């Protein structure tokens, strides 16, 4: 954590998991969620859903800003799919975000998808991975 | 989504945000969470917390597997910090994971941190970003 930008952060949150996949993840004095493997029927969310929630909200928030900059009404919606793939030797997640921009001309809509991929902070973290893709909904 | 591995996925989840940062993110017929900007006092979680929850749970789950492989008792805990940095021109997230492995010899503990960074699927997605770091708790 040598990166000096931590000192000028607009916001910092801490999140803990000290139990396991069948356990809880929580923000101290904040949100606490039950977690469970997606491969059993126990109640609880999982890393795949939580990553999809983070990415979909980040993309949607950034699209709202882009809509405002273009004086467009807010019509954007973001649908994220996260897949758990592989086998015991090596597991990976695949992440695909589909952006719906009803009422926006196709060329502008495509430009907005390219822009949101660059600007959304979660998208920036993922975009060097070949497992992350984003597209405009047909 | 041309990647053929989607077809052989062990699990796929879909997550939607069609409202905005002041809105909700939800799994159809599943978990629904209120979201809000971390920079106001409205109730709700945010992309920073959700990313921290996904990463902490993924790392903790993978550490449990590594502990089992070494016939160690489960003592691992994962503390993730996510910072929102930048200004209107360009925002980014910084992500730091700290791994606590009480009772594990230092050399083995350090090797386990290196291994979990490689094996946890969320860590794999983030690790090409210079904004993501992981360390063993002192």
Same domain flag for B19 and B60 = no
Residue A23 has pLDDT above 80, yes or no: yes
Is residue B60 within 8 A of residue A18, CB to CB? The reply is: yes
Question: Exposed e or buried b for every residue in A69-82, given b needs 16+ CB within 10 A?
Answer: eeebeeebbbbbbb
pLDDT value at position B2?
76
| Same-domain check for residues B26 and B54 | no
What's the sign of the alpha-carbon dihedral A7, B134, A116, A56?
negative
Residue B127 has pLDDT above 80, yes or no: yes
pLDDT > 70 fraction of chain B, expressed in percent and rounded: 99
Classify residue A40: in a domain, yes or no: no
Check residue B136 and give its pLDDT. Answer: 98
Cβ contacts of residue B124 below 8 Å, gap of 6+?
A92, A93, A129, A131, B118
Closest CA to B61 of A56, A29, A37: A37
Give a yes or no: residue B62 inside a domain. yes
C-alpha–C-alpha distance, residues B40 and B36, integer Å: 8
Contacts of B74 in chain A (CB under 8 A): 20
Task: Give the model's pLDDT for residue A1.
Answer: 59
pLDDT digits (tens, 9 = 90+) for B11-50: 999 999 999 999 999 999 999 999 999 999 999 999 999 9
Residues A24, A84: one domain? no
* B90 and B114 assigned to the same domain: yes
Confidence of residue A64 (pLDDT cuts 50, 70, 90): very high
Size of interface A-B (CB pairs under 8 A): 270
Instruction: Answer whether B32's CB lies under 8 Å from B24's CB.
Output: yes
Per-residue pLDDT, averaged over A102-112, amounts to 97
- Range 3-22 of A in CB contact (< 8 A) with B: 3, 5-6, 8-21
Residue A66 has pLDDT above 70, yes or no: yes
Q: Which one, of B112, B45, B48, B47, lies nearest residue B78 by Cα?
A: B112
Are B35 and B45 in contact by the 8 Å Cβ rule? The answer is: yes
Domain CATH number, residue B88: 3.30.300.20
Q: Give the pLDDT confidence score for residue A89 in this predicted structure.
A: 81
Residue B138 pLDDT grade (very low, low, confident, very high; cuts 50, 70, 90): confident
Percent pLDDT > 90 in chain A is 96
Q: What is the mean pLDDT of chain A?
A: 97
B 43-72 residues with CB < 8 A to A: 45-61, 64
Select from B38, B5, B2, B31 the least CA-distant residue to B17: B31
With respect to residue B94, please indicate whether it lies within any of the assigned structural domains.
Answer: yes
- Helices then strands (H, E): number in chain A? 3, 6
> Rounded to whole angstroms, how far apart are CA atoms B83 and A20?
24
B79/A57 Cβ within 8 A: no
Q: Is A116 found in the same domain as A68?
A: yes
User: In this structure, are B28 and B71 located in the same domain?
Assistant: no
A16 plus A74 within the same structural domain: no
Contact A9 B83 (CB under 8 A): yes
Structural domain boundaries enclosing A20: 4-35
- Given a cut of 90, whether residue A65 has pLDDT beyond it is yes
Q: Are residue B80 and residue B53 in the same domain, yes or no?
A: yes
Q: Are residues A115 and A92 in the same domain?
A: yes
* B42 occurs within a structural domain: no
Rounded average pLDDT over B99-112: 97
pLDDT surpassing 80 at residue A2: no
Hey, CA dihedral for B132, A12, B50, A70, is it positive or negative? negative
CB B34 within 8 A of CB B27: no
B28, part of any domain: yes
Number of domains in chain B: 2
Tell me the pLDDT band of B51, cut-offs 50, 70 and 90: very high
Nearest CB among A77, A91, A122 relative to B18 is that of A77
Closest by Cα among A93, A66, A73, A80 to A137: A80
């Amino acid at each position: 954590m040598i990166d000096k930008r931590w000192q000028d952060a607009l916001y910092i949150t801490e999140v803990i998991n000290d139990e396991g996949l069948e356990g809880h993840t929580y923000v101290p004095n904040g949100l606490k969620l039950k977690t469970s493997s997606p491969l059993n029927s126990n109640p609880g969310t999982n890393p795949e859903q939580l990553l999809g929630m983070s990415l979909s909200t980040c993309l949607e928030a950034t699209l709202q800003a882009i809509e405002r900059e273009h004086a467009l009404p807010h019509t954007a919606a973001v649908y994220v799919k996260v897949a758990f793939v592989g086998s015991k030797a090596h597991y990976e997640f695949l992440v695909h975000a589909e952006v719906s921009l009803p009422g926006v001309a196709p060329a502008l809509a495509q430009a907005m998808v390219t822009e949101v991929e660059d600007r959304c902070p979660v998208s920036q973290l993922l975009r060097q991975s070949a497992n992350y893709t984003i597209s405009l909904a047909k």
